[in-house]
Chain A
Amino acid sequence: MIRFLATRALGAGVTLLVKSFIIFSLIGLMPGDPLDLLIQANPEATPEDVAKLRAIYGVDQPIGERYWSWLTQALHGDFGYSRAQHRPVMEVILPALGNTLILMGLAFVISTIIAVFLGTVAATQKGRLLDRCINLLAYAGISVPSFWLALVLIYLFAVRLGWFPAGGMPQQGEGLHGWAVRLTLPLLALVMVEIGGLTRYARSAMLDVLGQDYIRTSRAKGISTPRLLFRHALRNAMIPIATIIALGFGYLFSGALLIENMFAWRGMGRLILEAIMGNDYNLALVCLLFTTAMILVANILADLAYTWLDPRISLGGRRR
């Protein structure tokens, strides 16, 4: 177990390094130059001043060396400053990370529960009206542009009905009620987008399991259907479902990015977008690395979930 975790963590570390270099290089190709903005702010800067600034910021060096110096600093815990917010990057990221985890975590739990339920129902009702309706809903979920769905929700529930605010974070003193009110619409949007794919996977995983001999035998033995479904079949169906969920973490994040943006939810997604759009390179870089790291951790968790759900698999020697 410990050995498994160690190998996986090592692998993830290497992946992260490679990716940090790729992202670092890409960010270097973004429009503008961090110095241009400093120089524009100070019209009296002489060419010598500019050269001095370049030396300080290390912009003159080849990409490999710039990356190396960034990396050594980062490994010492110093992720640098956000240019736009004039604060250390970590100070900016941590609250955003918290907000994102609240939104994504809730969406994750709610959509998994709903999707597994709908998928199970659809599988048992295969071909009937209920299955068709659930299927159509799932198709809509995977086919809708999430930002547009958010827009429609805002129009309906904020503009027309006025039940919820159109967006923004809860203010100090708004308490739990404030959180509930402001979270409802973004959560609704994220869950609606997320359950589409999940329901389809849950349905087909359930169908596979229900087609297996032992379930048919248990049925013949007269074990009651709900018990059979939720005790035996679901446990087996959860194995493929868990993988899809964990591997779909990146997808959930992409959805969250757009939705946070629509509802002015101050999470990682919105932060990344602002950083990219505002040429705040360092912030964008660190945000992306955080996101990549979260995806890697989710993948490792998926493997752990595997073993927990399927006692036949031992860690390290994963069945393929």
Chain B
Amino acid sequence: MAQATSSPPETLDEDAPARRSYSSDAAGLGRLRAGVFVAPALLLIAAFLVFPALWVLYLGLTNYRLTGIAAAEPQFVGLDNFIDAVSNPVFWNSTWLTVQFVLGSAVIGQVGLGFTIAWLLRDRRGPLKRLVEGLVILAWILPSAVVSFLWVALLDRDGGTLNALLGLPGFAWLLDHPMLSIIIFNTWRGTAFSMMLYGAALGNVPPSHLESARLAGASGWQQLRDVVFPHIRGHILTNLLLISLWTFNDFTPFMITAGGPDGKSEILAVHVYKVALQSGELGYGAAVSTVILLINLVVAVFYLRLLRSKK
């Protein structure tokens, strides 16, 4: 939650030195005091993270509504909400849009652009590199409410800068191509992470390997394929999993298109908000949330596996 775009929780140090497997209580804390130290954090996590997650599972099985009779006395309806969801074309539409959004902006957009920039700038120093990196990172760190409006302004049908540049006055990007708009927006927004990750990864490719490939007459593409990719394969996978997870859960597109027009950019994150908090169908919204949780779980377990196997 509150992931925003700034930082991933990847903290299993990939190349941490093998620590001695025993721990010693250097300060003489003792288990009791240690328990007291851990308790407040665990309590908050339990109350505001674990409990909501469990609650969402329960809610999904009721006909809870925000207002009305079902708000006072929610009934247990079993898997009805899930059945509603899978038989609801709007849900499938949202799912399909989400797939487009994740594939288009994260897997293709951010990874492709991030790697390209990292590769172009790999052995450069100085102002050009700093300028490009600085701008890419700026797009990443600015508050989402601000960048959303910057894109609304950029893409505005009548007065937007983009139409002025392209000489296409009156072209309604957000109305006619809402998915394309948010995909390009999110590529712009999130490339920084991939760029930095690949920059670091490329820095770890031993120069001697590249040099020997170059001496053997390998072209740029052959160097990439035979030397670079084998070295950074682990990083690519890590990166893919993380940014897919974040993009999948990203709520920012709501601030640009609000899911519209006519649900044409209503990705799952926005779908939940609309059905649960705007239409008040909490039970159905919770069922969709459960689906999101499960997908997150699968990706996260995959990711943690990957980290473990690298250790």
A is bound by B: no
